[in-house]
Amino acid sequence: MSHHGKKHYDEQNEAERKEEVPLNEDESEEKEIEAETDEVDKMTEAQAKEYLRKADAANSKLKEEIEGLKKECEEAKNDYLRARADCENVRKRKHDEVRAAFDDGRSTAIEKILPIGDSLDWALKMPLDDGTRDGIEKLLKKYHETLSALGVQEFSPEVGSKFDPSTANAVMTVAKESESDEIDTVKQVYGRGYKLGEKVMRYAQVSVIKE
């Protein structure tokens, strides 16, 4: 092959290699932009106006879709928050209902237990042999321990203290017997009172000095 022929052959191969090299992504986008630019440059004024009108319409539609999606997202968020609040309210309500049922059951049990203590107290006032008395005292001790375990507190107004109707019940009134006696004070305590928290389960039984 002559030198001239070889040179022509090499140039042809080089041209073919250049044609075979694929364009990367950036070069492809640049080519597309250049093609669109060329197309816009070739437009008439009327065609350009129509092109802009369509572009504005597409842009407006896109904005509407975006606003619609924002609204849907906000509504979904609000629905979630409402559902979460409802679940929390249900949880709290059920907790309160269970607690109330427990407290009611405990109060009922305590009310049924209290008369047992009364009977044991009265029994100790009777003439008893040592063995019987010892047995009753042990039962009474267990009774008080049970009440304490249930959260019950015993209380007894002091003799001479001001009568408090919120914690004591005046089963009888007595006349003032001496100068030391004060009106509306406790003269004698006949029965202890019991509280469960702030709730009075049984009022203390007392006599009160009156005129």
Is the model's pLDDT at 95 over the cut of 50? Answer: yes
pLDDT computed for residue 171 by the predictor = 94
CA distance 13 to 20: 11
Whole-angstrom distance, CA of residue 137 vs CA of residue 135: 5
Question: Does position 12 have pLDDT exceeding 80, yes or no?
Answer: no
Least confident of 13-17, 33-37, 86-90: 13-17
pLDDT in tens, 122-174: 899 899 999 999 999 999 999 999 999 989 999 999 999 999 999 999 999 99
| Sign, CA torsion 139/145/149/151 | positive
Separation CA 26–CA 1 (nearest Å): 41
Q: How far apart are the first and last CA of the chain?
A: 148
Beta bridge partners of 54: none
Which region holds residue 197: left if phi is over 0, alpha if psi is between -120 and 50, else beta?
A: left
Q: Can you give the pLDDT at residue 102?
A: 85
Split at pLDDT 50, 70, 90, the class of 21 is very low
Full 3-state SS string of the chain? CCHHHHHHHHHHHHHHHHHHCCCCHHHHHHHHHHHHHHHHHCCCHHHHHHHHHHHHHHHHHHHHHHHHHHHHHHHHHHHHHHHHHHHHHHHHHHHHHHHHHHHHHHHHHHHHHHHHHHHHHHHHCCCCCHHHHHHHHHHHHHHHHHHHHCCEEEECCCCCCECCCCCEEEEEEEECCCCCCCCCEEEEEEECEEEECCEEEECEEEEEEEC
Residue 42: the pLDDT is 63
Q: Is the pTM of this model over 0.75?
A: no
**For residue 20, is pLDDT > 90?**
no
pLDDT of residue 167: 94
Query: What pLDDT does 211 receive?
Result: 77
